[in-house]
């Protein structure tokens, strides 16, 4: 869900950037910008900052575990290669 304050701020900025001749319609346009912005932003596949941060932490933990497993696998392969070398 997009923060309503962000949408209000964007609507205010859009209305404020209108030419002087349209400033008299500023309040009405600002009210119309809100649903248009909300609709456009809701169609985007966005995540909240909190969701992004949580997924980043999950990914960092998974990377750490993967690095640990790769190192362990390399140790085991080295150990097995040493045991299976022919003693001639």
Token representation of residue 77: 């392969």
Are the C-beta atoms of residues 42 and 7 closer than 8 Å to each other?
no
CA distances from 46 to 11, 35, 88 (A): 19, 17, 64
**Could you tell me the pLDDT band of residue 88, with boundaries at 50, 70 and 90?**
very low
Per-residue pLDDT reduced to its tens digit, 57-82: 999 999 999 999 999 999 999 999 98
- 19 Rama class: left (phi>0) / alpha (psi -120 to 50) / beta: beta
Q: How confident is the model at residue 1 (pLDDT cuts 50, 70, 90)?
A: low
Predicted confidence at residue 62, as pLDDT, reads: 98
pLDDT at 18 over 50: yes
């Amino acid at each position: 869900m997009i923060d309503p304050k962000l949408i209000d701020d964007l609507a205010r900025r859009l209305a404020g950037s209108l030419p002087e001749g349209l400033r008299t319609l500023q309040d009405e346009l600002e009210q119309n910008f809100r649903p248009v912005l909300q609709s456009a932003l809701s169609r985007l596949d966005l995540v909240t900052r909190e969701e992004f941060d949580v997924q980043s932490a999950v990914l960092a933990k998974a990377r750490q575990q993967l690095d640990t497993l790769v190192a362990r696998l390399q140790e085991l392969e080295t150990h097995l290669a040493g045991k299976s070398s022919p003693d001639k």
